Chains A and B, each alone.
Chain A
Amino acid sequence: MPLLFEGLEAAILPCSLILLIPGAGVALAARQRAAVALIGFGVGALLLSWLRFSDRGGSLGNGLAAVMLAGAVVLLVVPLVRRIRFVAAAGGFIAGAAAATLWQPCVGSEFGQLLTELPQRGLSGLALLAFYMLGLFAPLVVLGAALSLLPSSALRLVRLPMLVAGAGVLVILAMSTAAGLTDDLVGQLVEWSVA
């Protein structure tokens, strides 16, 4: 439980924006598939974070992260495949893994203890990390649930703006990541929010 609460507290910290912003982009771009896309996003972010933080690999580099974000846009936006639900989950997964590659967390005491022990822990470390990230992703859970609860008539009205906004967020992130500007972009958001 302390890990879950520390994750919830971290959800309001600027360091978490690099995970939450692409998550919001995925939810918006996936429209009525927001819930399933966000589950994919969460699983992708969790697995990559676990690999990275436990020294089992997972450092993909900014170039690959940018390509993955762009690929996620394609999977989320272009409905060319019949199994749309699976494609939305795959798009979310790829975007989550890319976001986790870029994530540099601020670390509280419980999470710090977990991170210190993570290379020595096996799958129990993955489970504990999942608890932390469940708290961290609480705003995305709320967003996904809210989007899924929109009546279809309302959804039809906002479908295009949502698609443009969600895909736009992911494309801007992909481009800024490719150009090495992600920190500047998120930093500007933080500065505005502080002001």
Chain B
Amino acid sequence: MSRGSLIALLVAALALVGLVFANLGDTEDPEQTLQGEAETVPTEDPAPPAIVPLESPPPVLGQALDLTNLAGWLQTDATEFADFDGQVRVVQFWTFGCRNCKNTLENMSHLYTQFEPQGLEVIGVHSPEFDYEANVESIAQAAIDLGVTWPIALDTDKTNFRSWQSGRRFWPRTFVIDQEGQIRFDRIGEGGYDELNSTVAYLVAAGS
């Protein structure tokens, strides 16, 4: 590789990194923004967008597995996954140190608030990527800090993270399970919120 092309490569890489950091810098801290607004103009939380149910049944993607070998549960009296049988369940594999997982929580919170009274249960399966994420007190504190109010299953040794995801394992991964225990939605990573919400709305309505 010639010296000139290397310099061009270096400059291009630096420019790309600069663009990303400029982009990150533009991202507003929601907490700061809310605090700033509270000092000047009292505002109410905007209503979450209306959720429209799917028009046709979501496809059956397979049968959900059990959650086994858990180190315990937080924020629930449940002691096993079967305690939620017969309910529509959103099962999300997450870990509190994962930025992409945190980005999904706002939508999950809206979904839980809206559909929990109609029988939805959200189960956050906490599968730590690193040792420091396995500490139960840290998980409980993170749940408070991040506004996670739904049950948390402690998948400390990642048994379920591996068995539910076989060869393709990611944080976060979100499944929707219907009342019969069938998987009706599977999403890797952030996003797909409209489809997730519409699937839940359909299944909850179909079961009522």
Contacts and interface: CB of A to CB of B under 8 A. Distances in A.
B118 interface: no
Interface stretch (B63-71, B125-133, B200-208): B125-133
A145 B10 contact: yes
Interface of B: 1, 3, 6-7, 9-10, 13-14, 16-17, 19-20, 23-24, 97-101, 103, 129-133, 167-172, 186-192
Contact of A190 (B6, B23, B97): B97
Nearest to A141: B13
Given A142-B10, A145-B6, A108 B189 contact: yes
B171 A107 contact: yes
B188 A112 contact: yes
A128 interface: no
A116 B188 contact: yes
Interface in A34-76: 35-36, 52-53, 55, 59
Contacts of B9: 141, 145
A105 B188 CA distance: 11
A135 interface: yes
| Most-contacted residue by chain B among A4, A109, A183 (CB, 10 A) | A109
Interface of A: 4-5, 8-9, 13-15, 35-36, 52-53, 55, 59, 104-113, 115-116, 135, 138-139, 141-142, 145-146, 148-149, 183-184, 186-188, 190-191
A149 B3 contact: yes
B97 A135 contact: no
| Most-contacted residue by chain B among A36, A59, A106 (CB, 10 A) | A106
Closest 7 CB pairs of A and B: A112-B189, A187-B130, A107-B189, A109-B191, A145-B10, A8-B20, A109-B190
Given A107-B170, A146-B10, A190-B132, A112 B192 contact: yes
B16 A187 contact: no
Contact of B10 (A9, A53, A149): A149
Contact of B19 (A5, A116, A187, A188): A5
A142 B99 contact: no
Contact of A111 (B3, B14, B189): B189
B69 to A, nearest CB: 17
Contacts of A8: 16-17, 19-20
B190 A5 contact: no
Contacts of A59: 167
B130 A183 contact: yes
Contacts of A149: 3, 6-7, 10
Given A111-B189, A112-B188, A104 B170 contact: yes
A188 B189 contact: no
B190 A108 contact: yes
11 contacts: A5-B19, A14-B97, A112-B191, A115-B188, A116-B188, A138-B16, A141-B13, A145-B7, A145-B13, A149-B3, A183-B130
B100 A108 contact: yes
Contacts of B167: 52, 55, 59
| Most-contacted residue by chain B among A15, A108, A115, A186 (CB, 10 A) | A15
A109 B13 contact: no
A4 B170 CA distance: 19
A128 B23 CA distance: 21
B138 to A, nearest CB: 11
